[in-house]
Structure 1
């Protein structure tokens, strides 16, 4: 065990109970529901949606609840579902980029409050790590970027999630340009060890950072790749709250679905 800067004890190794993430299937199912709703301007009932999509019971109910919370659909007084304001805005040709960013920020802010952690959306663009949006607050502060995230992919959960989605050649190319440097006593600096770990961990599981990037901070990330664009959704917590990391990561995983929808629609 090791102590953070504030004296709190944090785990020295990554938990072994990580489960594969599954936002893609849910996002695909949600898109099928939205397509069916969009085709019926007058409204469509849950029973008809079940027939059209093949989704029934709790699965369909959970998706409709999430889509309603995100304002993608609205339930009318007679129980039918019609397109919501968010779906109409994202589907409009004019101002779509702004609408996507605003919708995504709203979703991230809500996920921040639900998980009790700072939330980040990141992309791997032109061979570099980019944090494109962040939701933080006084009670959920963002990580202090004391070393440029682009140079610290080997240490952070964001970087490891993004690198894990690349092929071996892509990983080697990145590490050739950004040599792994020791940021804390837990940072992996051996390229061979890092490549071995990335190869052993499927890209669909949680990537964790247990004070490898910064003393006093723990992080988790899940992939949110859209098409060929590599990305991830991540959170950070103070090390004294490390006991909450996996629970918060489960909420992060569930929150990946509306994030994927914002980026896909």
Structure 2
């Protein structure tokens, strides 16, 4: 399925991060931040927070004062047949931490073979996942997950999806006009979370941010009861900050 031509912020971040990881892996004895900046062409103002993120995720470690080497997480992810299991475990651990920090159920969704699929999630007694009373595959036009995935498709891709999954009204807030839906998707800024304010289910609000790297289309999302809607914006901002390391895990 074709993607919109402009890359998302997550995609750009992942490409820069991969460049940094490649540079560090080429220096087995460790490499300084200044050398990484020279070899990657990234300005120090961008590189410093990226290295902090990679350290917190375990992808790099500070081997000596001022020098960086490959971390345990990256070594584990490269261990042959165990790679997929290691990636899933790392994503699940990240989702669990994110659930606890934002106080909401969180999800990773992918657009696979023309369908919306929730691939992993983390919920709990105080952060219940949304009641999937209608399969998410049939609700892309109404859910934050679905709309976020559709923003990453071109118009032909969206039309193909809606030709197979007709627009249906779920609540009084559901968009039922294809023209209006496409207009909202086209005007959605890449850096702003996609929201679902009781469009899929009465009593539930959701947010989603893209996880785009290469040809893959995915998103990171959260849901919470409508009585917690006053926390949605801050929770969505936290979700956005977690997008780049999550996209990196999916890419590796």
Q: Mind listing any 5+ residue stretches in structure 2 that lack a counterpart? A: 1-6
Query: Which residue of 2 is the match for residue 4 of structure 1?
Result: none
Secondary structure of the corresponding residue to residue 158 of structure 2: helix
C-alpha distance in 2 between matches for 1:52 and 1:116: 40
Query: Which residue of 1 is the match for residue 164 of structure 2?
Result: 177
Query: Which residue of 2 is the match for residue 86 of structure 1?
Result: 73
* Superposed displacement of residue 202, structure 1: 5.0
C-alpha distance in 2 between matches for 1:263 and 1:75: 24
Secondary structure of the corresponding residue to residue 95 of structure 1: helix
Q: CA RMSD in A?
A: 1.9
C-alpha distance in 1 between matches for 2:46 and 2:172: 45
The count of corresponding residues between Structure 1 and Structure 2 is 246
Q: Mind listing any 5+ residue stretches in structure 1 that lack a counterpart? A: 1-19
Note if contact 2:11-2:213 (Cα within 8 Å) is conserved in structure 1. no
Note if contact 2:194-2:208 (Cα within 8 Å) is conserved in structure 1. yes
Of 237, 241, 244 in structure 2, the residue corresponding to residue 254 of structure 1 is 241
* Superposed displacement of residue 80, structure 1: 2.0
Note if contact 2:207-2:222 (Cα within 8 Å) is conserved in structure 1. yes
**TM-score normalised over the length of structure 1:** 0.86
Alignment of 1:59-74 (within 5 A): 59-74=46-61
Note if contact 1:23-1:256 (Cα within 8 Å) is conserved in structure 2. yes
C-alpha distance in 2 between matches for 1:154 and 1:185: 14
**TM-score normalised over the length of structure 2:** 0.90
Query: Which residue of 2 is the match for residue 159 of structure 1?
Result: 146
C-alpha distance in 2 between matches for 1:24 and 1:198: 18
Alignment of 1:80-229 (within 5 A): 80-202=67-189, 205-229=192-216
